[in-house]
A and B are shown apart, each in its own frame.
Chain A
Amino acid sequence: MTTPAATRDPGSAWARYRDNKDLQRLGICLIVGGVVALMTGKSGTVTAPTSGITGTFKSSAAYVWIGIFVALWLVLTIRDRYLQSVQSATRVLATNRDRVLAVTPVKWAIYAAGLAIAIALPHLVNNFWQEVLVGQIAPYVLLAVGLNVVVGFAGLLDLGYIAFYAVGAYSAAYWTGSLPAHPPFTVNPFWAFPLAIATAMLAGVILGAPTLRLRGDYLAIVTLGFGEIIQIVANNLTSVTGGAQGITKAVPSFSVHVGGLHYAWPLELLPGNHFRWYYLILGLIVIVLVAFHLLENSRVGRAWMAIREDEVAAEAVGINPLKYKVLAFAIGASTSGVAGVFFASKNGTFTPPDFAFQASILILVLVIFGGMGSLPGAVIGAAVLQWLPQALRSHIEQQDLYIYYGALLIVMMIFRPQGLIPSRRRAREIRMAEHGVGSADAMAAPGAAP
């Protein structure tokens, strides 16, 4: 960049660079662009190890990448300038505005448009993308929305969230008679929903009640352990779960026969059948979103916020932190259980590795990427991150896929730690933490009692 001598001169290019946030950002963008170009470019060989680097920058692809990141810088900078001008004009207005979380007409319009797009989407894409929607995106949106309650609302770091998904899936398998262990009566998986919700919720309470007294990192380790236990039990308790081979016979697909109403979700994933599955899970997501939105702006949601901000103060105003943490766990777990039933019934079969630790981390990443504590964030974050690998699949080599994924996450956390669509409150917490007031860390332990 510059010579060491120049760094001592206050008027030097280096000093000017250090004082200019935009230039700094440009520097980071150039570096990231270069790294991405290197990662995707030619590989070196044993005889010429540096040929990877020289080869990369000889090809035009490298400059396309750098160009993309410079464009990103331009967009970010222009956006910042715009926001600054808007902010100074509306600051007075903003401080006087009523409710922070009030849903304005504009917001309703955006939500309605979002729902309309979600309804129309499967009709606009081909069979492959329909399958991605039903198999990869929608269930993870549901999982992210559920984990958002635990991580975003209550501020508890759960690294074993997938365990409740497993509990939901195995409950569905149990109640449909697909496990070696037989239930007293069998039901259609559709009616396994309430049973699985109850079981997952119970699992959440059983895990939560003794462990939620722990704070921050300790809780994270315990939940991690719980996730592993569930997977290992599923793997080894062959007489009950079917072990590593997976369940003994396929979980039947959903069907509803109530009175004159007959409706079935066929297992064969023929083109037309995706729609039924898609609209089922879309309905579940919408119900959960509405319920959680109301929950967030209620007494319960405010109690969670209080605990997240300052547990000692929350106790002093009469909130029982343990009760509300267990509640968050139970609600998160039951959402995960719903997704598990859907997964079991749609796929028909599954094995313990479907519930590996990586999946828990993935869901956590979806929530953080989207914006902790923000319901639209969880939806969009999950949709974008689950869509991305599929979209990249045809353009880049399979083994490079997660390099891009990782790079995206790193860039995101540098430039936008509050997530894609942050909750206003969460963004404020992060801003305040930067100014030394409180802590925005989901797992920060509030200071000891005075």
Chain B
Amino acid sequence: MTIEERAVEVEDPILVVDNVTLRFGGVTSLADVSLRQGRGEILAVIGPNGAGKTSLFNSISGVYRPQEGAITFNDPDGRATTVIGRSPNRVTRLGVARTFQNIRLFNALTAVENVKIGVESRQRTGPVGAMLRLPYARREDRESDDRAFELLSFVGLQARANALAASLAYGEQRRLEIARALATKPQLLLLDEPAAGTNPVEKRDLEALIRRINTEMNVSVLLIEHDMRLVMSIASRVVVLNFGRVIAAGTPAEVQRTPAVVEAYLGTAAAEEDGDAASG
């Protein structure tokens, strides 16, 4: 059985991960991982705990620096940029925004301030402009206010704009983090377990939100998620990691049928049973 499915060729990829290997001392966190994400696609990365999903995210967002392989981000106008070796803030300004598995907001700031900081990563007001309150600095500040409120309404938090980030409910914090990431005008959004710890109603809202980000804002979404129902319903393709390797890739339906995936999730016995059932 060919377990290791090679990266599927996609037309106009926004993100190309080629044979990436990441080691920490003797521990190999990612081994020869390849994947391609098409522009405008919602791609999900799944896998058991410790499979290397977050390591992959951290490599793409510039937090980790893989020893081998290449990660390339493609502009809409066809410019390809290498991500490896760029610091996280430069990756963000390239057009790749992310959220964190354990929410990392600026807790002592208000919701709208959190989003403004994201908007302002694309602005140019420097210390001199700010200290003299030059016209362009004032205009940019107004723009960042407007944009921040727009994004808060987009994620449904306009009523909580002036609440402190720490005072928001868990699901609200998740959405605020997404709004802050969107504020940096990404073309690719990396969501690290956005549904973790949310209730069924919030999950439904989140699903709709991710769809709207994808269609209305034209942002490609790379998603790490444990909630299979969510993954199967919104992802157009799924990549499965286990022990730092890609063990399967394809549409949700295809992946679900792959014995290696069942084995990774449920153990060998289940896979055999499943294989028997499939063949019989």
> Footprint of B on A, CB under 8 Å?
95-100, 291-292, 294-295, 298-303, 305-306, 309-310, 312-321, 327, 331, 425, 428-429, 432, 437-438, 449-450
Chain B residues, CB < 8 A from A318: 89, 92-93, 118, 121-122, 184
- Interchain CB contact under 8 A, A425 and B108: yes
Question: In the assembly, what is the distance between CA of A95 and CA of B163, in Å?
Answer: 6
Question: In the assembly, what is the distance between CA of A247 and CA of B248, in Å?
Answer: 75
Chain A residues, CB < 8 A from B64: 449
- Interchain CB contact under 8 A, B109 and A309: yes
Question: In the assembly, what is the distance between CA of A301 and CA of B104, in Å?
Answer: 19
- Closest approach, in angstroms, between the C-beta of B138 and any C-beta of chain A? 10
- Which of A96, A100, A303, A317 counts the most chain B CB atoms within 10 A? A317
Question: In the assembly, what is the distance between CA of A425 and CA of B144, in Å?
Answer: 20
- Interchain CB contact under 8 A, A316 and B104: yes
Chain B residues, CB < 8 A from A331: 127
- Interchain CB contact under 8 A, A309 and B58: no
Chain A residues, CB < 8 A from B104: 310, 312-313, 316
- Per-residue 0/1 for B125-142: is the Cβ within 8 Å of any A Cβ (1 yes, 0 no)? 111011111000100110
Q: Which residue of B lies closest to A449 (CB)?
A: B63
Chain B residues, CB < 8 A from A319: 89, 117, 121
- Per-residue 0/1 for B163-207: is the Cβ within 8 Å of any A Cβ (1 yes, 0 no)? 110110000000000001101100000001000000000000000
In-complex Cβ contact of A315 among B88, B116, B118, B127 (8 A): B88
For the complex, is B37 an interface residue (Cβ under 8 Å from A)? no
Chain A residues, CB < 8 A from B144: 299
- Interchain CB contact under 8 A, A450 and B100: yes
Chain A residues, CB < 8 A from B63: 312, 315, 449
Chain B residues, CB < 8 A from A321: 89
What are 29 residue pairs bridging A and B, where the CB atoms are less than 8 Å apart in the complex? A96-B162, A100-B110, A100-B162, A292-B131, A294-B130, A295-B130, A298-B125, A298-B130, A299-B141, A300-B125, A302-B117, A303-B117, A305-B113, A306-B117, A309-B106, A310-B105, A313-B105, A314-B89, A314-B117, A317-B181, A318-B92, A318-B121, A318-B122, A319-B121, A320-B89, A331-B127, A425-B109, A429-B107, A450-B54
- Interchain CB contact under 8 A, B109 and A317: no
* Further 15 A-B residue pairs, CB within 8 A, beyond A316-B89, A425-B108: A100-B110, A292-B131, A295-B130, A300-B125, A300-B130, A305-B108, A310-B104, A312-B88, A313-B104, A316-B61, A316-B100, A316-B104, A317-B92, A438-B108, A450-B101
- Interchain CB contact under 8 A, A449 and B58: yes
Chain B residues, CB < 8 A from A300: 125-127, 130
Chain A residues, CB < 8 A from B167: 95
Chain B residues, CB < 8 A from A301: 130
Q: Which residue of A lies closest to B62 (CB)?
A: A315
In-complex Cβ contact of A428 among B117, B164, B184 (8 A): B164
Question: In the assembly, what is the distance between CA of A449 and CA of B54, in Å?
Answer: 10
Question: In the assembly, what is the distance between CA of A317 and CA of B88, in Å?
Answer: 9
- Interchain CB contact under 8 A, B131 and A317: no
In-complex Cβ contact of A317 among B90, B107, B117, B126 (8 A): B117
Question: In the assembly, what is the distance between CA of A138 and CA of B102, in Å?
Answer: 46
- Closest approach, in angstroms, between the C-beta of B155 and any C-beta of chain A? 15
For the complex, is B237 an interface residue (Cβ under 8 Å from A)? no
For the complex, is B36 an interface residue (Cβ under 8 Å from A)? no
In-complex Cβ contact of A432 among B108, B123, B163, B184 (8 A): B108
- Closest approach, in angstroms, between the C-beta of B115 and any C-beta of chain A? 9
- Interchain CB contact under 8 A, A291 and B131: yes
Question: In the assembly, what is the distance between CA of A161 and CA of B273, in Å?
Answer: 70
- Interchain CB contact under 8 A, B106 and A313: yes
Known: A302-B117, A303-B120, A449-B63. A437 touches B166 (CB 8 A): yes
Chain A contact residues, majority secondary structure: helix
Question: In the assembly, what is the distance between CA of A314 and CA of B120, in Å?
Answer: 12
- Interchain CB contact under 8 A, B166 and A432: yes
For the complex, is B87 an interface residue (Cβ under 8 Å from A)? yes
Chain A residues, CB < 8 A from B117: 302-303, 305-306, 314, 317, 319
Question: In the assembly, what is the distance between CA of A95 and CA of B162, in Å?
Answer: 7
Q: What are the 8 tightest A-B residue pairs by CB atom distance, in nearest-first order?
A: A318-B121, A298-B130, A318-B92, A291-B131, A313-B104, A315-B88, A299-B120, A309-B106
- Which of B92, B108, B118 counts the most chain A CB atoms within 10 A? B108
- Which of A301, A318, A321 counts the most chain B CB atoms within 10 A? A318
Known: A294-B133, A298-B137. A432 touches B107 (CB 8 A): yes
Question: In the assembly, what is the distance between CA of A401 and CA of B102, in Å?
Answer: 50
Chain A residues, CB < 8 A from B101: 450
In-complex Cβ contact of A299 among B89, B140, B162 (8 A): B140
- Interchain CB contact under 8 A, B118 and A305: no
For the complex, is B97 an interface residue (Cβ under 8 Å from A)? yes
Question: In the assembly, what is the distance between CA of A303 and CA of B127, in Å?
Answer: 11
- Closest approach, in angstroms, between the C-beta of A303 and any C-beta of chain B? 7
Question: In the assembly, what is the distance between CA of A339 and CA of B243, in Å?
Answer: 60
- Interchain CB contact under 8 A, B109 and A299: no
- Interchain CB contact under 8 A, B131 and A295: yes
For the complex, is B245 an interface residue (Cβ under 8 Å from A)? no
- Closest approach, in angstroms, between the C-beta of A432 and any C-beta of chain B? 6
Chain A residues, CB < 8 A from B141: 298-299
Chain B residues, CB < 8 A from A100: 110, 113, 162
Chain A residues, CB < 8 A from B127: 295, 300, 327, 331
- Closest approach, in angstroms, between the C-beta of A321 and any C-beta of chain B? 7
- Interchain CB contact under 8 A, B89 and A315: yes
- Closest approach, in angstroms, between the C-beta of A101 and any C-beta of chain B? 9
Chain B residues, CB < 8 A from A320: 87, 89-90
Question: In the assembly, what is the distance between CA of A428 and CA of B162, in Å?
Answer: 14
Chain A residues, CB < 8 A from B54: 450
Known: A310-B106, A318-B92, A318-B121. A302 touches B116 (CB 8 A): yes
Chain B residues, CB < 8 A from A294: 130-133
- Interchain CB contact under 8 A, A313 and B100: yes
Question: In the assembly, what is the distance between CA of A302 and CA of B140, in Å?
Answer: 14
- Interchain CB contact under 8 A, A316 and B98: yes
Question: In the assembly, what is the distance between CA of A314 and CA of B180, in Å?
Answer: 11
In-complex Cβ contact of B184 among A312, A317, A327 (8 A): A317
Question: In the assembly, what is the distance between CA of A336 and CA of B113, in Å?
Answer: 30
- Closest approach, in angstroms, between the C-beta of B121 and any C-beta of chain A? 3
- Which of A97, A305, A315, A438 counts the most chain B CB atoms within 10 A? A315
Question: In the assembly, what is the distance between CA of A432 and CA of B164, in Å?
Answer: 11
- Closest approach, in angstroms, between the C-beta of B100 and any C-beta of chain A? 6
Question: In the assembly, what is the distance between CA of A313 and CA of B104, in Å?
Answer: 6
